[in-house]
């Protein structure tokens, strides 16, 4: 199922009025394809987390704009853009994709094919994302190979949340180096953080590593520090939902604690990211990145399967007060390096602009 040709979003074969996605809320218990027939379906898919992960959120927004253009031309496209932009506040790829499509259509002459232009852009965003992930994979592979050569043994990677194929169009960000290492015969093993409250680690990352035959072990979120103290983690690689131009990294809640533990144990802590996740307008991540707060039900309930049927069960008293911050910010000083499609750099403005001089 999850192979080199895998895609997380696509236009339905033989029906250009429908975009298709995987309902990721049901994984790993059920693999269900969902139809998006309107931009409002796309909005719901993003807001209700049928799709998630910064690059896929951006791509879904672009395809939603295609559906809007198809339905009601420029007026509907602008209405859709306004509604989509605030559906997931932390993941900056959403804003990036919407701005890219709006910029593109601005330059169209009267009578031009609006729907065709937006479709071409949505397709390009997806195709480019696959190439970007592969670029991240090739650069990250060198880091894993260095560890493998030095250690002459299994390379233990720890990751948090899902920064895999399912969070992108294919290959993933944090997982791309792992997939390429595995394919190149490097002995690699991944510690997968469960990632409460939505369990993207246990439900998505573990599933997709299994699909590709990569050795992995699921751990509870608080186990990483212990493993690092006992020399069982060679490198941490996570993804990010927004990284500032100075290298501060917003990622799934709990990432900051992993970075602190890595720092205390001299374990290299890398963040893998496409350039589309860099917010060049922001410097100080803690002060400037909006942190999404999600439904308390994600904390009070756990989703799983009983006899193959996906169900939710309560784990707390209904009266328990809950807060549910979905992301945190890891300051650049705790990040060993950023793995991008153009290479690996320091988590700093100088590091990022050395790879992306057009933003200097």
Residue 227 contacts residue 329 (beta carbons within 8 Å): no
Alpha helices in 111-198 (DSSP H): 114-151, 175-183
Which of the following is catalytic: 241, 248, 279, 328? 241
Joined tokens for residue 255: 């990432």
CB of 355 to ligand MRU, least distance (A): 18
CB of 227 to ligand MRU, least distance (A): 19
Under the criterion CB under 6 A, does residue 258 sit at the interface with ligand MRU?
no
Residues 167-186 that bind ligand MRU (CB under 6 A): 167, 173
Under the criterion CB under 6 A, does residue 97 sit at the interface with ligand MRU?
no
**Which residue from 25, 52, 189, 258 is in contact with ligand MRU, where contact means CB under 6 A?**
52
Give me the DSSP letters along 193-246: E--TTTTHIIIIIHHHHHHTT--EEEE-GGGHHHHHHTT--SEEEE--SEEETT
CB of 22 to ligand MRU, least distance (A): 14
**Which residue from 21, 41, 45, 53 is in contact with ligand MRU, where contact means CB under 6 A?**
53
By three-state DSSP, how is residue 329 classified? strand
Residues 186-215 that bind ligand MRU (CB under 6 A): 200
**Which residue from 9, 54, 190, 347 is in contact with ligand MRU, where contact means CB under 6 A?**
54
- Cα–Cα separations (whole angstroms), residue 168 to 21, 211, 273: 12, 16, 11
Phi, psi at 202, each rounded to 5°: -75, -30
* Between 239 and 351, CB nearer to ligand MRU: 239
- Contact segment (CB under 6 A) with ligand MRU among 50-58, 101-109, 301-309, 344-352 equals 50-58
Joined tokens for residue 159: 């990751």
Determine whether 3 is an active site residue. no
* Between 38 and 238, CB nearer to ligand MRU: 238
Residue 42 contacts residue 222 (beta carbons within 8 Å): no
CB of 86 to ligand MRU, least distance (A): 15
**Lookup result for tokens 């993804």:** 239
Closest by CA to 208, choosing from 155, 251, 161, 147, is: 161
Closest by CA to 186, choosing from 158, 224, 150, is: 150
* Between 53 and 69, CB nearer to ligand MRU: 53
Q: Which residues are catalytic?
A: 241
Q: Can you give the binding site for ligand MRU, defined by CB under 6 A?
A: 52-55, 161-163, 167, 173, 200, 238-241, 251-252, 326
């Amino acid at each position: 199922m999850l192979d080199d040709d895998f895609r997380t979003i696509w236009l339905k074969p033989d029906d250009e009025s429908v975009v298709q996605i995987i309902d990721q809320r049901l994984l790993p218990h059920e693999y269900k394809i969902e139809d998006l027939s309107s931009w409002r379906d796309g909005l719901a898919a993003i807001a209700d987390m049928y799709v998630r992960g910064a690059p896929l959120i951006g791509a879904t927004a672009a395809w939603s704009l295609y559906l809007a253009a198809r339905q009601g031309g420029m007026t509907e496209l602008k209405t859709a853009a306004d509604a989509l932009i605030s559906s997931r506040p932390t993941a900056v790829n959403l804003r990036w994709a919407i701005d890219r499509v709006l910029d593109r259509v601005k330059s169209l002459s009267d009578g031009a094919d609006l729907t065709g232009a937006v479709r071409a852009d949505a397709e390009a965003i997806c195709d480019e994302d696959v190439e970007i992930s592969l670029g991240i994979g090739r650069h990250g592979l060198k880091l894993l190979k260095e560890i493998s050569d030095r250690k002459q043994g299994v390379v233990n990677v720890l990751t948090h949340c899902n920064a895999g194929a399912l969070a992108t169009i294919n290959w993933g960000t944090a997982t791309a180096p792992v997939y390429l290492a595995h394919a190149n015969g490097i002995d690699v093993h991944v510690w997968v953080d469960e990632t409460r409250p939505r369990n993207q680690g246990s439900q998505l990352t573990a599933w997709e590593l299994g699909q590709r035959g990569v050795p992995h072990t699921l751990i509870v979120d608080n186990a990483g520090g212990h493993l690092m103290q006992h020399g069982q983690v060679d490198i941490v690689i996570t993804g990010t939902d927004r990284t500032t131009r100075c290298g501060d990294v917003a990622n799934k809640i709990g990432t900051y604690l992993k970075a602190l533990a890595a720092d205390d144990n001299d374990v290299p802590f890398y963040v893998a990211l496409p350039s589309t996740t860099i917010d060049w307008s922001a410097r100080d991540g803690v002060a400037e990145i909006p942190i999404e707060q999600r439904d308390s039900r994600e904390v009070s309930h756990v989703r799983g399967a009983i006899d193959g049927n996906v169900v939710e069960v309560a784990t707390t008293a209904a009266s328990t007060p809950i807060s549910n911050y979905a992301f945190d910010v890891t300051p650049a000083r705790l990040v060993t390096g950023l793995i991008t499609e153009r290479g690996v750099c320091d988590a700093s403005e100088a590091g990022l602009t050395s790879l992306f001089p057009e933003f200097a």
